[in-house]
Amino acid sequence: MFETLSDRLTSVFSSLRAKGRLSDADIDATCREIRIALLEADVALPVVRAFVAHVKERARGSEVSQALNPAQQVVKIVNDELVEILGGETRRLRLAKTPPTIIMLAGLQGAGKTTLAGKLARWLREQGHAPMLVAADLQRPNAVQQLAVVGERAEVAVFAPEPGNGVGDPVDVARRSIDHAKRQQHDVVIIDTAGRLGIDQELMRQAADIRDAVQPDEILFVVDAMIGQDAVTTAQAFMEGVGFDGVVLTKLDGDARGGAALSVRHITGKPIMFASTGEKLGDFDAFHPDRMASRILDMGDVLTLIEQAQKTFDEEQAKKMAGKLTSGDGFTLDDFLEQMAMVQKMGPIKNLLGMMPGMGQMRDQLNQIDDRDLDRIAAIIRSMTPGERAEPKIINGSRRARIARGSGVSVTEVSSLVTRFFDAQKMMKRMAGGLGIPGMPGGGG
């Protein structure tokens, strides 16, 4: 997600970095580039206008002209504005004071509602809740069955109308589900409603009826990020027809541009609360505007990386890894090897590496990474002496040749591993000094 925008912005900033002071003309040119980058990323025009106007106003102000490093200050401004446009603070789910908390999902057919219902349920279960899914999509053939399957996978209860009772009334099902949840002590109820292929009155009316019958604590509008500008139109229609409290973006894995994510908050005034990034139940997380901005600007998403590590390992292991990752100092090839083994447990390596700062520029290489490559890397490191692993600087030409022979790879592969290791070490040091932007508060200089 966001590759197009990320690449564009990174290149705008790298040309800025060559300059010392920034003239008004430099700022105008940069803002023009940012505008093009946003438009190419399919961001809605009113959002682009507002965004660029803010950046320009701030960039012409004293915070840039008086900065030690004006170019980096511009990056900081763009980062701030991205966080802002994405919603500022992370908006957490509001739980009802007296359970059950009722969450209603609305959106077009195919948006990914049913899948999302399962993801959300599993996510809540992992946090100690006892969620129940409700099949109130009685329109689409198989929708009830699909939710039952999803519920089973997520290991949560599903409330569905008895089979054979005709089509049934979704409003009635929703209403009865709440009583059932209370009796069964479910503290969160997630209601999956019917979607249509397009926006229509009947769809809106039914969703509004369910809303009135169950009075949800949260209505989440689920929207497919890949439909681009249509996401904004659909959001507006649902806003008027049903109303909602938050947005869930799905299929962010498939959209290189990410325009929907950047537009929907500004246009509807409602926060993006969750993001779905794949078909599996685990491809889902709360949406954090700051982390997303940092990913777009290729500053990495180390917090998410650390959270994933915490989910996979015990606390001791996770702490050790987080410490090494953020300090950069004392990080040796042995640690690298150990971490690689740990990391492989966390999922496909390219997803994880993609969260490291600066990796955006290496996307093509990342996409070529096959997890089997890790075995080759491990073989290379194992062919090194303990001294070499601890102090890779000593690995000169003849040592490289020996290591290559020992591990059955070419000398070039050994060299490239060593270079990449140094790069990683450097990046970690940079991150340790703040957001990876020297010159920022808390930055490295």
Q: Please enumerate, by residue number, every residue annotated as part of a binding site for GTP.
A: 107-114, 192-196, 250-253
Name which of 48 and 249 has its Cβ closer to ligand GDP. 249
Residue 151 engages ligand GDP in binding (rule: CB under 6 A):
no
Residue 250 engages ligand GDP in binding (rule: CB under 6 A):
yes
Of 4, 109, 310, 317, the one binding ligand GDP (CB under 6 A) is 109
Name which of 33 and 283 has its Cβ closer to ligand GDP. 283
Q: Residue count at the site for ligand GDP (CB under 6 A)?
A: 18
**Nearest C-alpha neighbor of 30 from the set 60, 62, 69:** 60
Stretch that binds ligand GDP, among 165-173, 275-283, 376-384, 425-433 (CB under 6 A): 275-283
Name which of 169 and 253 has its Cβ closer to ligand GDP. 253
Name which of 9 and 111 has its Cβ closer to ligand GDP. 111
Stretch that binds ligand GDP, among 176-184, 245-253, 257-265, 320-328 (CB under 6 A): 245-253
Of 283-312, binders to ligand GDP (CB under 6 A) are: 283
Distance, CA of 89 to CA of 200 (rounded, Å):
33
**Nearest C-alpha neighbor of 159 from the set 190, 126, 119:** 190
The C-alpha angle with vertex 320 and arms to 317 and 326, in degrees rounded to 5, equals: 135
Q: Evaluate whether 267 touches 241 at the Cβ level (below 8 Å).
A: no
Stretch that binds ligand GDP, among 65-73, 102-110, 155-163, 379-387 (CB under 6 A): 102-110
Name which of 52 and 156 has its Cβ closer to ligand GDP. 156
DSSP 259-276: HHHHHHHHHH---EEEEE
Phi, psi of 124 (to 5 degrees): -70, -40
Token pair belonging to 277: 């990034």
Of 30, 193, 277, 425, the one binding ligand GDP (CB under 6 A) is 277
Name which of 73 and 114 has its Cβ closer to ligand GDP. 114
Burial of 216 from C-beta contacts in 10 A (0-12 / 13-18 / 19+): buried
Q: Evaluate whether 261 touches 233 at the Cβ level (below 8 Å).
A: no
Token pair belonging to 375: 């075995």
**Nearest C-alpha neighbor of 251 from the set 236, 230, 237:** 230
Q: Evaluate whether 16 touches 22 at the Cβ level (below 8 Å).
A: yes
Of 99, 110, 168, 328, the one binding ligand GDP (CB under 6 A) is 110
Q: Evaluate whether 12 touches 297 at the Cβ level (below 8 Å).
A: no
Residue 177 engages ligand GDP in binding (rule: CB under 6 A):
no
Residue 122 engages ligand GDP in binding (rule: CB under 6 A):
no
Stretch that binds ligand GDP, among 21-29, 63-71, 84-92, 109-117 (CB under 6 A): 109-117
Token pair belonging to 437: 């932007």
Of 70, 87, 100, 112, the one binding ligand GDP (CB under 6 A) is 112
Residue 152 engages ligand GDP in binding (rule: CB under 6 A):
no
Element (H, E) at 135: strand 131-136
Name which of 105 and 377 has its Cβ closer to ligand GDP. 105
Residue 195 engages ligand GDP in binding (rule: CB under 6 A):
yes
Of 253, 285, 307, 335, the one binding ligand GDP (CB under 6 A) is 253
What is residue 184's three-state secondary structure? Answer: coil
Beta pairing, strands 284-286 & 272-276 = antiparallel
Beta strands in 280-354 (DSSP E): 284-286
Binding site residue list: 107-114, 192-196, 250-253
Name, in order, each residue with C-beta under 8 angstroms of 13's C-beta and a sequence gap of 6 or more: 71, 74, 75, 78, 297
Name which of 40 and 253 has its Cβ closer to ligand GDP. 253
Of 113, 122, 288, 295, the one binding ligand GDP (CB under 6 A) is 113
Q: Evaluate whether 261 touches 226 at the Cβ level (below 8 Å).
A: no
Binding site for ligand GDP (CB under 6 A): 107, 109-115, 195, 250-251, 253-254, 276-279, 283
